[in-house]
């Protein structure tokens, strides 16, 4: 069996995603227990206990989710679809404990003024960062305010330098990989998440660019979180893994004797509410209880992966350079059977 390095995977003939690869421990681990492992990191000026940020989707990150993720040492990006966002920002008190807010390209200047005054991270929430108007918006924000700016999304590193030149502090990587995103089906755009991430990662290294990388989309488990970080991500952005928790917006629905909550893509009809081109779907996900339990599960899985790989810190994990490429049968073999 060939052991692949990051560079090997980046040069692989096919587009790869998380289910296509596995991490391989190649040395004796000196980590006694997973509790010894340190998962703390810094992301564009913020210290995180677990390298997780939430997707700014209207069924994932409202006020309650954003505040609770801050309490848990993560970052929640408040969604831009909240009709009373201007009032909330002006009030100020309701946004205590929130680190990041998403905006559209047409966000009112008064809103941005308030966000900048409160030192919020601003996420320009668009589907495609390879757009002149997105870059112009980023340039405007960085020239007028002392704020950290996240932009996205990209599937390849070809325009990364232009994003950095526009002032972007972090970029969301991945197009079409979200579980309720139909962009790839509708447009034919997008590649596997691992290939996207590695391509941007090597572009950053080779050009010595100062920008944080966010793996956004396709992450289904704590193991995928570990793989994304080992492939060069600074943090992971989660949607479906956080959906259905108590802190997400929306009511708990009882159907067929089971509890559910709504989950939908930002380009779904339920969000747009008009007859436009739709690139997202709407579904129900099982109710999961407190988001704290989900974050704890991610932390435990990540710590276990790091203990196997003899990694004491996230920087150690990001330097891992031993991967397997899985056949369909070897992937299926790893799945639990009842």
The 10s digit of each residue's pLDDT in 140-162 is 999 999 999 999 999 999 999 99
What pLDDT, on the 0 to 100 scale, is given for residue 336? 86
311 is catalytic: no
C-alpha 192/C-alpha 174 separation (Å) is 8
pLDDT tens-digit series, residues 53-106: 999 999 999 999 999 999 999 999 999 986 657 666 667 667 788 999 999 999
Among 123, 181, 231, 311, the one annotated catalytic? 181
Q: Which residues contact 252 (CB under 8 A, 6 or more apart)?
A: 259, 260, 261, 287
pLDDT tens-digit series, residues 314-324: 999 999 999 99
More confident residue, 193 or 271: 193
For residues 275, 277, 279 and 283, what is the CA-based torsion angle, rounded to 10 degrees? 20
Domains and CATH numbers, the chain: 6-15+30-315 (3.20.20.70)
What pLDDT, on the 0 to 100 scale, is given for residue 273? 46
Question: What string of DSSP letters covers 186-205?
Answer: HH-----HHHHHHHHHHHHH
C-alpha 235/C-alpha 214 separation (Å) is 5
- 166 close to 138: Cβ distance less than 8 angstroms: yes
Query: For the chain, what's the residue count?
Result: 338
C-alpha 75/C-alpha 55 separation (Å) is 10
C-alpha 152/C-alpha 148 separation (Å) is 14
Q: How confident is the model at residue 168 (pLDDT cuts 50, 70, 90)?
A: very high
């Amino acid at each position: 069996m060939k052991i692949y390095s990051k560079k090997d995977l980046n040069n692989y003939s096919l587009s790869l995603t998380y289910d296509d690869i596995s991490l391989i421990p190649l040395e004796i681990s000196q980590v006694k227990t997973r509790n010894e492992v340190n998962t703390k990191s810094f992301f564009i000026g913020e210290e995180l206990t677990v390298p997780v940020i939430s997707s700014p989707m209207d069924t994932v990150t409202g006020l309650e989710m954003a505040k609770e993720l801050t309490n848990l040492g993560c970052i929640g990006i408040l969604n831009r679809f909240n009709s009373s966002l201007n009032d909330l920002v002006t009030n100020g008190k309701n946004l205590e404990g929130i680190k990041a807010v998403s905006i559209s390209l047409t966000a009112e200047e008064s809103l941005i003024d308030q966000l900048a005054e409160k030192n919020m991270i601003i996420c320009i929430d668009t589907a495609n960062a390879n757009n002149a108007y997105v870059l112009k918006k980023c340039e405007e924000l960085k020239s007028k305010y002392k704020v950290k700016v996240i932009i996205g999304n990209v599937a390849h590193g070809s325009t990364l330098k232009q994003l950095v030149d526009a002032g972007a502090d972090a970029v969301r990587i991945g197009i079409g990989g979200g579980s309720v995103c139909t962009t790839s089906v509708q447009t034919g755009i997008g590649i596997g998440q691992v290939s996207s991430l590695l391509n941007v990662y090597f572009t950053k290294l080779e050009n010595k660019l100062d920008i944080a990388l966010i793996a956004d989309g396709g992450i289904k488990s704590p193991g995928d979180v570990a793989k994304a970080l080992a492939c060069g991500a600074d943090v992971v952005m989660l949607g479906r893994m956080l959906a259905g928790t108590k802190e997400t917006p929306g009511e708990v629905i009882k159907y067929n004797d089971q509890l559910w909550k709504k989950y939908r893509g930002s380009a779904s009809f339920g969000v747009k509410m008009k007859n436009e081109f739709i690139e997202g779907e709407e579904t129900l996900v099982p109710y999961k209880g407190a988001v704290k339990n989900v974050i704890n599960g991610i932390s435990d899985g990540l710590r276990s992966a790091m203990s196997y790989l003899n990694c004491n810190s996230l920087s150690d994990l990001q330097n891992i350079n031993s991967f397997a490429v899985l056949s369909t049968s070897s992937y299926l073999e790893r799945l639990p059977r009842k």
